[in-house]
Amino acid sequence: MILNQFLLLAAVLFSLGVYGVLTRRNGVLVLMSVELILNAVNINLVAFGAFQDNVQGDVFAVFVIAVAAAEVGVGLAMVLLMYRNRKSIDFSEVDMMRG
Amino acid sequence: MFSILATEAFEGSFTTEANVILENVWLIPLLPAISFFVILFFGKRMPKGGAEVGIAAIGLAFVLAILANVAWIDHRDNFDGPTQSALTGLIEDDHAEDDHGEDENALGTTLTVTDTTAGADGVDEVVDVDLAFTEAGEGEEAHAAIAVLKGTDWLTNGGIAFSVGTLLDGPSVMMLFVVTMISLLVHIYSTDYVAGDRRYTHYFAFLSLFSASMLIFVLSRSTLQALVAWELVGVCSFALIGHWWEEKPNSDAALKAFLTNRVGDVGLLIGIIILFFASGGHFDYITINEMALAGEINQTALTWAAISLTAAVMSKSGQFVLHTWLPDAMAGPTPVSALIHAATLVTAGVFLIGRLYPVFFIGYNIEGSSINGLSLIGAITVVGAGLVAFVQDDIKKVLAYSTVSQLGYMVMALGVGAWTAAMFHLFTHAFFKAGLFLGSGSVAHAVHSFNMKTDMGGLRKFMPTTHKTFIICSVALAGVFPTAGFWSKDEILVGTGGFGVGSGSANGSYDLMLVMGLVGAALTGAYMTRAIYLTFYGEFRGHGEPHESGKRITVPLIILSVFAAGAGLINLPPGFITGSLEPWQERFFHFVEPAAAYFPAISHSVPSYWLAVVASAVGLAGPAVAYWYYFIKVDGLAKQTGEKLTELPNGLVANNKFAAAGHALLKNKYYLDHLYNDVIVASVKGPIARGAIWFNKVVLDGFVDNAGKGSVRTGKFIYDSIDQGLIEGTVNGSGKLSSQSGQGLRRMQTGKVQQYAALLFAAATVLAGIFIVFI
């Protein structure tokens, strides 16, 4: 089995996800980009699990999927609230986290 | 000559395990010490101004002192525990029999009799073994009087331990009783005598401090501890003499007492230092004493130490020529004079000699001499002070010179080797002299003056109790049979061993001391007769209507006069009583004189009847002459002419040039004050003052000026370079740095989520790069 292809795929997906998180203004698209990053990691985990012939990678991947589901739930709720308050889901307009 | 208490007979000196009271006597000085602080801080707010605290503390200390005395009496005869010696350490019971064949009879006897507890059988055994004990006629003497030594190392420096603690033996337990008892009576007396005084609280605070210091002194186990207590009593004396310091003579007297004592204190310090180095680094009394007796300290060193310490005794115990402060010290309140300047503090010097007796005994070569420094000083003081007492008009000054004279007796007795006689005289003197002083205070309380010639006379009608107690105490002071003074003074006279009295068993034949002692006895009776006549007889010469003092003044007087009359009975000479009463003889000697390895082998004189008769005759001759002069001639003339006379108008002094010169000499107290003030001080003062001014102007001023300029320059340099440059720069720089870094970081805090995320990823990338490169 060749590990490199999976790792390259994961690296590409990860970079696409990072690009999306940093450049997209739409909150939903940012969340989708985060999903890309998480799934790139999932590919890595499953690939390493298969490479070393054990199930620990698969188990971690399942965990990450569950956590990602929860994260998206919370993230979408926040985007929804943002939309209700400001009639906009543009992240570039939001600077409420300024200390 | 074989001594009765040979040193070899006792190997042990002390024990650390004894009756619980004897082990904890430190509580006795602690009580008045606590009372001092309580009175000082809270006394003014108390209903009785702090006097109640002082009386309670000293009363409790008195009870403890009595308990300690009872415990000591039991310990003296029945102690059977392990004993120690400073030189040889712990002593085993069979030690003597094993390797001291020569001394076996002495210590062996000790052990035999220990078992039979001085029963009749024990006496027989002693007679068999040791002739010396039969001479003393005291079988039970075989018990050693082991001192109880407690304490702790205060500090250790360079391998030398400075120990503090208590050394309890015969003399200290006796002093505990005397100090606490007189102090208690004086406290009670003072509540009336100084009532309404503006520094009432302060007065009682210092009485407490004095009691504490004196008790520490008598319980000291080392010379260094004694020095501390010695100085403390000096401070209390200073403060109490100057109690009414608003009047110049009083503060002058306080200063004089303090400064005169400084002269002697130098001697004390030098003596302690000599003993310290000569003994190879020891301050402990017992160690120094044992080493001196064992010949481990150089004889010359001992002599110099003894001479230095004699200077201390001369100042503290008012011996000729440093006695001049003591009569002036009468400027203080009368109860203070009774407690401090008659009964207790002034005996500190005598007690010090008694404590370090081996140093004096060997240093002055007391055994086998017929004259030495200590006894000569004492003998001169006895007569010299007794003569001056004749020409004093102030009743307290008469008593002060009498005190000096009696202290001379004690020092003389120590100088001739009559240790017990000196301590016994200290004991009896404390009672009758305190009684006399308190009596004079009672008189002064009534007539508001101490001058016998202008303000007193005929007081027996107004003050019957004071009169009676004063007479009893005077009789005791004069040494009339059978009052306390008779027994103690007679013992001193016998102890001199002059002209072969005491069956020649004394330490040496001190003929001169015996003569001086007899002359002193005659003088004592005579000047007291004069004082009594001027105070209590004739016509009242003062103003107003004197009246008897209150109960708080008269009751202490009565108690003291009872002791003055009866205290002599506790040391009846051997052979005076026989039969079933015989064990009651020489009780004071038995319980007070240390019979242990730290006490020298002094011989004890056998009492002499003919000396007692001669001494009594001489002692009564003095008062008889004074009686004839005052009670018959002066009183007769006064009645005849109706004038208030205090002396014959054309007596010896008025007609005879020689007598007038003598009178002037005495009036001026041998010109000693003139010598000190005008000759010594003045001759030293001028050059020293000029030298001091030169030194001040040239050396000190120059030094100070230059030091000032230098420090200004240094300060300026420091201000410019270090303060302004370094410190200011650092402070300002750090402020600027944090301000600028804050401004810089502020720009990163945009609140934009994506910017934060970009930073996050950038940092993660950098970290990943570091990981890849370095790991």
pLDDT in tens, B453-484: 888 888 888 888 889 999 999 999 988 888 88
Q: Is A7 within 8 Å of chain B by CB? A: no
| Closest CA relative to residue B331, chosen from B462, B237, B464 | B237
Q: Is B757 within 8 Å of chain A by CB? A: yes
pLDDT at B746 over 80: no
Hunting for tokens 């739409």 — which residue is that?
A26
Inter-chain CB proximity A97 and B758 less than 8 Å: no
**Is residue B319 within 8 Å of B379, Cβ to Cβ?**
no
Minimal Cβ distance to A97: which of B751, B758, B761: B751
More confident site: B627 or B499: B627
pLDDT at B52 over 60: yes
* B731 to chain A, closest Cα gap in Å: 28
Mean pLDDT of all residues in B498-512: 68
Query: In the prediction, which pLDDT does B140 show?
Result: 40
Q: Is B761 within 8 Å of chain A by CB? A: yes
- Give kind and range of the element (H or E) at residue B616: helix B609-627
Inter-chain CB proximity B754 and A92 less than 8 Å: yes
Query: In the prediction, which pLDDT does B759 show?
Result: 87
pLDDT at B396 over 70: yes
**Cis before A55 (ω within 30):** no
**pTM > 0.95:** no
Q: Is B748 within 8 Å of chain A by CB? A: no
Inter-chain CB proximity B754 and A95 less than 8 Å: no
Inter-chain CB proximity B752 and A96 less than 8 Å: no
Mean pLDDT of all residues in B87-107: 48
Q: What share of chain B in percent tops pLDDT 90?
A: 21
More confident site: B37 or B546: B37
More confident site: B620 or B129: B620
Mean pLDDT of all residues in B357-382: 86
Instruction: Tell me which residues of chain B, numbers 578 to 637, contact chain A at a CB-CB cutoff of 8 Å.
Output: none
Mean pLDDT of all residues in B14-22: 80
Q: Is B762 within 8 Å of chain A by CB? A: no
Query: In the prediction, which pLDDT does B123 show?
Result: 39
Lowest mean pLDDT among A76-85, B501-510, B513-522, B732-741: B501-510
Cα–Cα distance measured from residue B214 to residue B219, given in angstroms and rounded to the nearest whole number? 9
pLDDT at B106 over 60: no
CATH number of A4-91: 1.10.287.3510
Q: Is B145 exposed, middle or buried (0-12, 13-18, 19+ CB in 10 A)?
A: buried
Query: In the prediction, which pLDDT does A80 show?
Result: 92
Inter-chain CB proximity A92 and B761 less than 8 Å: no
**How far are the Cα atoms of B104, B201, B567, B663 from residue B220, in angstroms, in the given order?**
33, 28, 26, 44
What three-state secondary structure class fits B167?
strand
pLDDT at B102 over 50: no
Q: Is B568 exposed, middle or buried (0-12, 13-18, 19+ CB in 10 A)?
A: buried
More confident site: B698 or A51: A51
pLDDT at B23 over 60: yes
Q: What is the mean pLDDT of chain B?
A: 81
Query: In the prediction, which pLDDT does B548 show?
Result: 84
Query: In the prediction, which pLDDT does A34 show?
Result: 92
- Give kind and range of the element (H or E) at residue A53: none
pLDDT at A29 over 80: yes
Residues 6+ apart with CB under 8 A from B341: B237, B326, B329, B330, B332, B400, B403
pLDDT at B259 over 50: yes
pLDDT tens, residue by residue, B310-328: 999 999 998 888 888 888 8
Inter-chain CB proximity A98 and B751 less than 8 Å: yes
| Extents of the domains making up chain A | 4-91
Cα–Cα distance measured from residue B234 to residue B217, given in angstroms and rounded to the nearest whole number? 12
Mean pLDDT of all residues in B544-567: 87
Pairing of strands B147-157, B160-168: antiparallel
Inter-chain CB proximity B752 and A22 less than 8 Å: no
Lowest mean pLDDT among B64-73, B306-315, B488-497, B599-608: B599-608
Substitution target from B754, B755, B759, B761 for chain A, most A beta carbons within 10 A? B754
Using CA of residue B365, residue B368, residue B373, residue B375, what is the dihedral sign? Answer: positive
Q: What is the mean pLDDT of chain A?
A: 89
Query: In the prediction, which pLDDT does B139 show?
Result: 39
* B714 to chain A, closest Cα gap in Å: 50
Q: Is A21 within 8 Å of chain B by CB? A: yes
| Extents of the domains making up chain B | 220-363, 372-577+585-660, 672-774
Greatest mean pLDDT among A8-17, A83-92, B385-394 lies in A8-17
Query: In the prediction, which pLDDT does B650 show?
Result: 66
pLDDT tens, residue by residue, B440-457: 999 888 888 888 888 888
pLDDT at B502 over 80: no
Mean pLDDT of all residues in B350-356: 91
pLDDT tens, residue by residue, B582-640: 777 778 888 888 878 888 877 777 777 788 888 888 888 888 888 888 888 888 888 77
Rounded to two decimals, the ipTM of the complex is 0.82
* A22 to chain B, closest Cα gap in Å: 5
Cα B409–chain centre separation? 16
Lowest mean pLDDT among B542-556, B620-634, B638-652: B638-652
Query: In the prediction, which pLDDT does B126 show?
Result: 37
Mean pLDDT of all residues in B126-133: 36
Hunting for tokens 């005084």 — which residue is that?
B197
pLDDT at B521 over 50: yes
For residue B756, list chain A residues with Cβ-Cβ distance below 8 A. Answer: 97
Inter-chain CB proximity A22 and B757 less than 8 Å: yes
Lowest mean pLDDT among B275-279, B530-534, B662-666, B739-743: B662-666
More confident site: B503 or B296: B296
Q: Is B667 exposed, middle or buried (0-12, 13-18, 19+ CB in 10 A)?
A: middle
Mean pLDDT of all residues in B665-687: 74
pLDDT at B685 over 60: yes
* B755 to chain A, closest Cα gap in Å: 7
**B499 Ramachandran zone, left/alpha/beta (phi>0; psi -120 to 50):** left
pLDDT tens, residue by residue, B25-34: 888 999 999 9
Lowest mean pLDDT among B93-102, B608-617, B678-687, B710-719: B93-102
pLDDT at B3 over 70: no
* A54 to chain B, closest Cα gap in Å: 26
Q: Which two tokens stand for residue A73?
A: 């739930």
pLDDT tens, residue by residue, B245-255: 888 888 888 88
- How is B105-135 classified by DSSP, letter by letter? HHHHHHHHHHHHTT-HHHHHHHHHH-HHHHH
Q: Minimal Cα distance from B755: which residue of A?
A: A22
- For the sheet with B14-15, list strands across it: B89-91, B83-85, B14-15, B147-157, B160-168
- Give kind and range of the element (H or E) at residue B632: none
Mean pLDDT of all residues in A66-70: 94
Inter-chain CB proximity B752 and A94 less than 8 Å: yes
- The H helix count followed by the E strand count for chain B is 35, 5
**Is residue B739 within 8 Å of B732, Cβ to Cβ?**
no
